[in-house]
Structure 1
Amino acid sequence: MAFQPIDPESDSRIEHKTAVLNGLTYHYLYGVPPGGSFKATVFLIHGWPDCSMGWRYQIPLFLRMGFRVVAPDLMGFGGTDAPKVPPAPISLYGYKRAADDIAALAKEVGAQQIILGGHDWGGFVVWRTAQWYPELVSRVFSVCTPYTAPHKDYVSLEDIVKGPLPQFGYQIHLASGEVEKSVNSEDSIRQFLRGVYGARTPEGETSFDPVEGVVLKNLPKIGESRLLNGKLLDYYVKEYCRHGIHSTLNWYRTRKSNWEEDLGLLDKKVIAIPSLFIQATYDSVLKPEMARGMNEYLPNLTRGEVAATHWALTQKPDEVNAIIRKWLEGQGYVTKASL
């Protein structure tokens, strides 16, 4: 079933709200089904370089199924605060702080339990939130991002890139501080977003390479993106111009901080609650082989896949939504007759 995506400028199905969570202000999208009653609350956590509006095709699905929806902008993104590092600690942009703030937002909206979904960085966040707050998260799902267990030994990003995951090379570039030197104006942010979302130059060249990172010399020539254009692109540009892109790149500077905090989860590697993982078969970074060992730690795992790139949420929304809907039907939350 196809749904009209949320309009970024004005949409009666959602409200734009803010809340102070553990001392910092978050912006989030908030929606309830018509009539105001709901069977459960779903939190949706975006990735990079996205924002809460990245769930624009999924929010209508959840509302139609009778769920309340909460979709925050992560730290450093959109209308959420972007503390400068330093003097703020880099851990503000890590999994544990995100989990703490999700728990605080759940309390803010009066949700004792939540269904938690994520994509990209948001996928990493939701797995960890389910571990840090098992009493809060009743179900968890991730699109593109496989579960990885906490590890007692630290492995640097450089060693990861030299070893099993050369396609993570772009993360070294994003963390380096070089990208924001060139992407620092409204026009350059616009070109940057077009490029990351698949646009090319007239010669067919890209401006993003998983191994090398952002191809800065190609940015001025990048054309239109089929996935992010028109007033939706205007919205994203406006949101990114609030803080610039530097704060969003802090997420790529947290590897050691995340590892240090993950040490508190070494005895909680197994996530026993019902979980769903949706693989994008053409994801050039989070490749299918990375998800092979998940069943060892997720005994109640359901798997699905869509023939899409990393941007499956908006590239193949009907297919993603169908998998989520079928999973929730199997969990007894919704019946086919209610759709």
Structure 2
Amino acid sequence: MFETQNYEVTKGINYEYVYMKRNDDSKPTLLFLHGFPSSFYCWRHQINYFSKQGYGCLAPNLMGYGKTYSPLDEHEYKAKSMVQHLISLPDHLNLTKVIVLGHDWGVRPATRFVLYHPERTLGLILFNVGYEPPAKRDVEKVLQFTRETFGYELFGYWEFINSDDAAKIFEENADGALDIWYSSDPTLWKTDLAPLGRLREWMTKKKRTNRASYLTDKDYEIVRQVITEGVQSKLNWYKSFIVNIDWDDEKDLDPTIKRPVLYVAGTKDYILVPQFFANQKQHIPNLETIELNTSHWTMEEKPEDVNQIVEKWIEKIV
């Protein structure tokens, strides 16, 4: 495990993070933003590799995770606020510009970091989740669209996550939750996770399956600790998004990403399917897309491939 530090980014709001200072001035610092149900630990292979190559590596636990500020009020989970928190970390560490990497829910603050503060970034790397420009979203319409387009609701499980008893059910059946989230069979997401009602059924019937081989016993224990501690704070990422918490802040934002972007998609990710983000290129003048034969946890499934792809792309843009 990495040695963590803590910093009060603003009064009463603390962030836990890992920081490896660069030892080669020609190489940038990478800001790693994780998703659900994860932590900075999901970037372990990248942090180990890039720190050894001389890059700086900064990986915070985002709101709701670890020892970072974890409010129970979903209205505190605004992307604009999180970006201000995240800007405070490079300020504290005397870093002027970073390359931002986001995975899963980490893509939300990663893209907004670049929208709000392009001058503090050199580039943006998105894993599995593509760029979604500011918009007011109707979840029912999204579910209908994905059902008609892909044959099932890609985000039907949000209904369960948004329910009052979801956190308790997660905490009581952590092993079953992690089985489906890190399944060795990615197609289970099409049948037992994504469609409406299926995740609740999986959890309440305490179903189990084989976990993916890339997750060692040690990895699993760390991830399991994440999902059994303060689950409601983590689910607030979904709840805040469902109620369009960012719309008032973002409705007048220029949606164009003014930095180079690398989008790494997983062809066996059956929820965040690459086709769902096909339109992102209209808002990203400088976009490179690479597809890997992975499910959702691309950086953990194929770390060597990811590290080579990322390093090659960084060398092109810096």
- TM-score (ref. length: structure 2): 0.88
Match among 211, 217, 234 for residue 230 of structure 1: 217
Match among 75, 78, 82 for residue 94 of structure 1: 78
**Cα distance change on mapping 1:205 and 1:84 into 2, 3 Å:** closer
Alpha carbons 2:179, 2:208 under 8 Å: kept: no
Alpha carbons 1:277, 1:303 under 8 Å: kept: yes
CA apart distance, 1:329: 1.8
For 1:242 and 1:133, locate their aligned partners in 2 and report how far apart those are by CA, in whole Å: 32
Q: Is 1:179 the equivalent of 2:166?
A: yes
Amino acid paired to 1:168: F
Match among 8, 14, 17 for residue 28 of structure 1: 17
Amino acid paired to 2:109: V
Give CA deviations for 1:289-316 in whole Å, capped at 9, x if unaligned.
1222222111111221111111111111
CA apart distance, 1:199: 5.4
Match among 275, 285, 294 for residue 289 of structure 1: 275
For 2:27 and 2:310, locate their aligned partners in 1 and report how far apart those are by CA, in whole Å: 16
CA apart distance, 1:56: 0.9
Q: Is 1:68 the equivalent of 2:52?
A: no
Partner of 1:157: 139
CA apart distance, 1:205: 10
For 1:264 and 1:190, locate their aligned partners in 2 and report how far apart those are by CA, in whole Å: 43
Match among 56, 68, 74 for residue 80 of structure 1: 68
Q: How large is the Cα RMSD of the aligned pairs?
A: 2.3
Partner of 1:41: 29
Alpha carbons 1:198, 1:206 under 8 Å: kept: no
Q: Is 1:320 the equivalent of 2:309?
A: no
Match among 48, 54, 59 for residue 47 of structure 2: 59
Give CA deviations for 1:61-89 in whole Å, capped at 9, x if unaligned.
2213321111011100122121122xxxx
For 2:162 and 2:26, locate their aligned partners in 1 and report how far apart those are by CA, in whole Å: 41
Amino acid paired to 1:136: R
Partner of 1:137: 121
CA apart distance, 1:111: 1.0
Amino acid paired to 1:314: E
**Cα distance change on mapping 1:63 and 1:155 into 2, 3 Å:** same
For 1:66 and 1:27, locate their aligned partners in 2 and report how far apart those are by CA, in whole Å: 23
State the structure with bigger RCO (CA 8 A, min sep 6), 1 or 2. Answer: 2
Please identify, of 190-199 and 107-116, the stretch whose mean Cα deviation from structure 2 is larger.
Answer: 190-199
Please identify, of 219-228 and 109-118, the stretch whose mean Cα deviation from structure 2 is larger.
Answer: 219-228
Secondary structure at the residue paired with 1:324?
Answer: helix
Partner of 2:206: 219
For 1:249 and 1:106, locate their aligned partners in 2 and report how far apart those are by CA, in whole Å: 27
Secondary structure at the residue paired with 1:219?
Answer: coil
Q: Which runs of 5+ in 1 are unaligned?
A: 1-7, 9-13, 333-339
**Cα distance change on mapping 1:184 and 1:206 into 2, 3 Å:** farther
**Cα distance change on mapping 1:292 and 1:184 into 2, 3 Å:** closer
Alpha carbons 1:280, 1:308 under 8 Å: kept: yes
Amino acid paired to 2:47: I
Amino acid paired to 2:221: D
Q: Which runs of 5+ in 2 are unaligned?
A: 148-152
For 1:173 and 1:261, locate their aligned partners in 2 and report how far apart those are by CA, in whole Å: 27
For 1:208 and 1:260, locate their aligned partners in 2 and report how far apart those are by CA, in whole Å: 35
Q: Which has the larger helix fraction?
A: 2
Secondary structure at the residue paired with 1:59?
Answer: helix
Alpha carbons 2:268, 2:293 under 8 Å: kept: yes
CA apart distance, 1:42: 1.0
Alpha carbons 1:196, 1:207 under 8 Å: kept: no
**Counterparts of 1:271-310 in structure 2 under 5 Å?**
271-310=257-296
- TM-score (ref. length: structure 1): 0.83
Alpha carbons 2:99, 2:123 under 8 Å: kept: yes
Alpha carbons 1:195, 1:206 under 8 Å: kept: no
Partner of 1:197: 182
Alpha carbons 1:207, 1:218 under 8 Å: kept: no
Aligned length: 305
CA apart distance, 1:220: 5.5
Alpha carbons 2:79, 2:246 under 8 Å: kept: yes
